[in-house]
Amino acid sequence: MLNYAKSAYGGRKLKAFTLVELMVVITIIGIISALVVVSFNSSRIKARDNKRISDANLIASALGQYYTTNLRMYPLGRTSGDSTEYSSTIIDASSTGFNNALKTYLSPIPFDSSSTYAYYYAYRNDGKKAAVILLALEGGRAKCNLDTGSQAGNAALPDVVRGFYSNTNTTACYYVAL
């Protein structure tokens, strides 16, 4: 509501907003901008999660191509004399053996620099089965396809993932089985 006040200049009335009206408008603008920031942040989290899932699927696709062209064997990161049935390796810039094996099919190999949201390559040491595993997703458990309370002996899990659990004593949030 505009108030009319007498001006010191010639007695004309000026239109002006009251202090209360200005405070109400500023408060409303502040609330709207806070909602926009929160909404934008959740969109960024979803986008990062979608990128992680997409990257894991790209790695899985490259591993599938490797498997097809290399006598139906997935790349191994350890020697064949390893005593455990399953092994896993983190996918990062330092995993040169893994990166070299896949550079024909996917270059550069995508990886997440955060240890919280790392990608793992889990495989049977005979090279017959493998999986790409994401430890977690930022947006919560809505997209998790593994129960984070699962134990290594859970028969419902694929054997490679069971092996990953037993080797790392951790839980996975998302995986792409091969």
Count Cα atoms within 13 angstroms, Cβ side, for 119: 26
Question: At 120, which helix (H) or strand (E)?
Answer: strand 119-124
Considering the chain, what is the average pLDDT of its residues?
A: 78
**Across 19-29, average pLDDT:** 94
Q: Which of 167, 173, 175 is closest to 89 using CA atoms?
A: 167
Are the C-beta atoms of residues 137 and 49 closer than 8 Å to each other?
A: yes
| Higher local confidence (pLDDT), 37 or 157 | 37
How confident is the model over 100-156, as pLDDT tens digits? 889 899 988 888 877 778 888 888 888 888 888 887 778 765 445 555 444 444 555
Predicted local distance difference test score (pLDDT) of residue 77: 67
Peptide bond into 108 cis (omega under 30): yes
**Across 21-34, average pLDDT:** 94
Non-local CB neighbours of 45 within 8 Å, separated by 6+ positions = 138, 139
